[in-house]
Amino acid sequence: MDIFILMIAIFVIGYVAIALEHPLKVNKAPTAIFMGMILWIIYAFFNTKVLELGFSPSFKIFEEIGSVIKDNINSYTSLGDKAKDFLSELSALGANSAEHNGYMEFIIHEIGEHLNDVSQILFFLLGAMTIVETVDRYQGFKVITDGIKTKNPAKLLWILSLLTFFMSALLDNLTTTIVMIALLRKLIDDKKLRWFFASMIVVAANAGGAWSPIGDVTTIMLWIGGQVTTLKIIEGVFLPSLTTMVIPLIVITFMLKGTKIDESKSSKEENVFTTKKERLTMLLLGVGGLLFVPVLKTITHLPPYVGMLFSLSIVWITTEIIVRNKKSEDRRELSVIKILESIDIPTIFFFLGILMAVAALESAGHLDLLAQWLDKVTHTNYYIISTAIGLLSSVVDNVPLTASAMGMYPIEAAGHLAQDGLFWELLAYTAGTGGSILIIGSAAGVAAMGLEKIDFIWYAKKISWIAALGYFAGILVYWLQESIFHVLG
């Protein structure tokens, strides 16, 4: 089998196995890691063996779609310009063995570069997850949730949605969804009514994460990758994101007209083991630390993970001071060492595997060819491409979709693919909010589905069309916004 097609087949099979994680009863993390590593092994082993035997890599599939492959290794287009430049430095050596070693040096160099980029994302997420989990363990979010007293369904829906929208921008859509649904259970007893509220929380959480550089994994990737900057992503995507929340919010408000919240049932009291001062301190430190990250990057231009890990160190040191005066059992539960046991490490490994798998396809030339095909089919219409990626994210995880788009289209000096260009801002919006169309389309949706046992068919019938309405309305708002800026500019 053509090795180029084999790599695609392995990626597709691996992705299907990830999607069927629950029926197969195999966690998606090891599947993703296996897929990522086997693609790099195949890519390196095959190409070095080809060069060792004195042949030039050539695939029929390239010829079929019009790609030009020259016999010279330095002109092998699927390696891209980086490989050509790297290998051209070794061209004077001439011998096959030297070419073989040079190619291996390129493979090691390439995988090292990708691992550097992926590691920045993973350490950023690990720091953010630890800070948020620490604030939650210290019951810091209780400071916010205790202030909600209304029993009016419409007013409560708007309060929870707006709170979710802005909390998601500071924390992340998954954590915010879990916190808000925990609050929802204390306020509403009726199961079906709670499903409407939980669904709106999912839509608001995904919308809130899209306009913030730290609100969603996809925007974090684009921010760390240099495709977008802090102020520009907020400026460009805030109104579309707000629209994609407000439209469904208005529709669901009318759908709930006439319903009442049963005030006769009292919610269960939460076990409180921290003082008000401790809760407020950890909330301010946690949120302040997260907000400090983009500020530090803007001032120093250091990678975002530096600011995140610095903020984590401050939070961690503070907890060490607090727990010294606690009882032994509380001291253990409130220690960051103990809190780290609750961090979703399998998800970190999943991101590692899936991002390295996409990186292998980028290095092998698959993403470059896919970009050429998309440009040809859509006539390089980035609105169509971004919209399609967003719709696909309602079925397929948005992390590899975003990683693929980043690999397909390099940042250019000017135009729609420049830093803060139209394509990157629109991608942040569509990849972040498109998952709301189906309950399984985002981490927030999956969490809500698991916590509230929301029926997939119920969501598809009652919520999907509303979320889709908001999604396309947001794209329209972005188009109007860009058109106005273009005229004024």
Contacts of 17 (CB under 8 A, 6+ apart): 24, 26, 28, 31
Whether residues 306 and 233 share a domain: the answer is yes
- Looking at 86, 114, 142, the residue that finishes a domain is 114
Is residue 137 located within the same domain as residue 43? no
Asked if 265 and 197 sit in the same domain, the reply is: yes
Clarify whether residues 107 and 58 are in a common domain.
yes
Looking at the structure, tell me whether residues 385 and 290 fall in a common domain. yes
Strand partners for 418: 412
Query: What is the distance between the alpha carbons of residues 287 and 487, in angstroms, rounded to a whole number?
Result: 38
The per-residue pLDDT string of the chain (489 residues; one tens digit each, 9 = 90 and over) reads: 467 788 889 988 988 888 787 788 888 889 989 999 999 988 887 665 444 443 334 334 333 333 333 333 333 334 445 555 555 555 544 444 444 455 667 777 788 888 888 898 889 888 888 888 898 888 888 887 777 777 788 899 999 999 999 989 987 787 788 788 877 877 888 888 899 999 999 999 999 999 999 888 889 899 998 899 999 999 999 999 999 999 999 999 998 887 877 654 444 456 667 888 888 999 899 888 888 888 888 888 888 889 989 999 999 999 988 888 777 666 777 888 888 888 888 888 988 998 898 888 878 777 777 777 888 888 889 999 999 999 988 877 788 888 888 888 889 888 889 999 999 999 999 999 998 998 878 878 877 887 788 888 899 899 999 999 999 999 999 999 988 876 675
Residue 29 and residue 15 share a domain: yes
Residue where a domain terminates, one of 93, 114, 135: 114
Cα(365)–Cα(48) distance, integer angstroms: 16
Chain-centroid distance, C-alpha 49: 36
Distant-in-sequence, close-in-space partners of 266: CB < 8 Å, separation ≥ 6: none
- Closest C-alpha among 262, 267, 261 to residue 152: 261
Residue count of the chain, please give it.
489
pLDDT, position 63? 38
Count of the separate structural domains present in the chain: 2
**Which residues on neighbouring strands pair with residue 412, listed in sequence order?**
418
Range of the domain at 14: 3-114
Q: What is the spatial distance between Cα 106 and Cα 44, in angstroms, rounded to a whole number?
A: 10
Largest CA distance in the chain: 85
User: How far is it, in rounded angstroms, from Cα 124 to Cα 220?
Assistant: 9
Residues 79 and 130 grouped into a single domain: no
409 close to 417: Cβ distance less than 8 angstroms: yes
Helix or strand (DSSP H, E) at 483: helix 464-488
Same domain flag for 37 and 123: no
Is 319 in contact with 334 (CB distance < 8 Å)? yes
Residue 219 CA to residue 238 CA, distance in Å, equals 13
Q: Are residues 107 and 122 in the same domain?
A: no
Domain limit, last residue, from 68, 84, 114: 114
- DSSP class of residue 482? H
125 and 12 within one domain: no
Q: Are residues 365 and 462 in the same domain?
A: yes
Model pLDDT, residue 355:
84
- Per DSSP, the three-state class of 485 is helix
Give the other-Cβ count within 10 Å of 121's Cβ: 23
Same domain, 298 and 380: yes
Amino acid in the structure at residue 140: G
Contact by Cβ (8 Å): 93, 74: no
- Type of residue found at 253: T
